[in-house]
Amino acid sequence: MDLGRMKEKQFKSGFATLIGRPNVGKSSLLNRIIGQKITITSDKPQTTRTQLRGILTQPGYQIVWIDTPGLHRPLHQLGTEMVKTAQAALRSGDLAVWVLDASQGLTPADLKVAEELRAANLPVLPVWNKMDLVHDEQLPELPGFAAPLRVSARDGGGLPQLLAAVAEALPDGPPFYPPEMVTDHPERFIAAEFIREQVLNHTQEEVPHSVAVQVDEFKERDNGLIYIDAVIYVERDSQKGILIGAGGERLKQIGQAARADIQELLDAKVFLNLWVKVRDKWRNNRSALRDFGYWEQERRD
């Protein structure tokens, strides 16, 4: 695809913010739209902590999708930052794609999201996700909003209609990114997220929510091997023991699964070295939140 030719022709481009309460499938939908895994998913609440951009370029348009943390009532400073991140992404978009879970219907948390959307004063496209789990007649009305579309992130149902509707709603203009780009986040960031995803997959209860991952080294060696040295931070010594597991077995499983995902992303062999450290109450510590990329200074002081 020729970027120069795209600029000469009539072209639509803009930012579509995926917004909704936690666990409605925003990240799964983004991966389905892009056609590859660029953001992590799990069945645990607040999996997505920062905004992530996925870029889809097709003949006639470029949609920059912004995945956001679920809007929720925060219980700590990290949660507060996640909500502010989602609100900031909503304000910066050209269009809000309001994702709802068709298998659960309209919930009180969805109605809170609706309030945020009305206050944002931008076009809103409601989308019922997980349509593979329900029948159309089970879905309630959404007064005050456009007629919702119906999609399934699992099987891709309804995706062409969603893409057409979003592209139509965007302003005319040249693409923001080269057509081959699928995200503007660095590989280092995505690698850290893939590690955190495997922590979510291999642990239960309070451990997943207390974890942050920091990549200390990300370097390609002369033989083409990508060397990654990363630290998994938890809040208590007991959580460290759970993550490491008997004889280090759980940490080994986490590393093997994360390495496979990172290798697929990079299309290269990866050596992944993981450490587990304790940083007490980091979710309520501004310094730690800055270190882990969850506190945006320019939005604060």
Domains and CATH numbers, the chain: 3-169 (3.40.50.300), 187-299 (3.30.300.20)
> According to the annotation, is 71 in a ligand binding site?
yes
> According to the annotation, is 174 in a ligand binding site?
no
- Show the CA angle centred on residue 139, arms to residues 138 and 143, nearest 5°: 145
Contacts of 148 (CB under 8 A, 6+ apart): 100, 125, 126, 127, 128, 139, 142
> According to the annotation, is 248 in a ligand binding site?
no
> According to the annotation, is 70 in a ligand binding site?
yes
> According to the annotation, is 157 in a ligand binding site?
no
> According to the annotation, is 245 in a ligand binding site?
no
In whole angstroms, what is the distance from residue 153 CA to residue 132 CA?
A: 9
> According to the annotation, is 26 in a ligand binding site?
yes
pLDDT for the residue numbered 4:
53
> According to the annotation, is 130 in a ligand binding site?
yes
> According to the annotation, is 28 in a ligand binding site?
no
**Which regions in the chain score pLDDT beneath 50?**
6-7, 297-301
Average pLDDT, the chain: 92
> According to the annotation, is 178 in a ligand binding site?
no
What would the pLDDT profile of 60-115 be if each residue is shown by its tens digit? 999 999 999 999 988 899 999 999 999 999 988 999 999 999 999 999 999 999 99
Joined tokens for residue 146: 């456009």
Q: Which of 135, 92, 113 is nearest to 19 (CA)?
A: 113
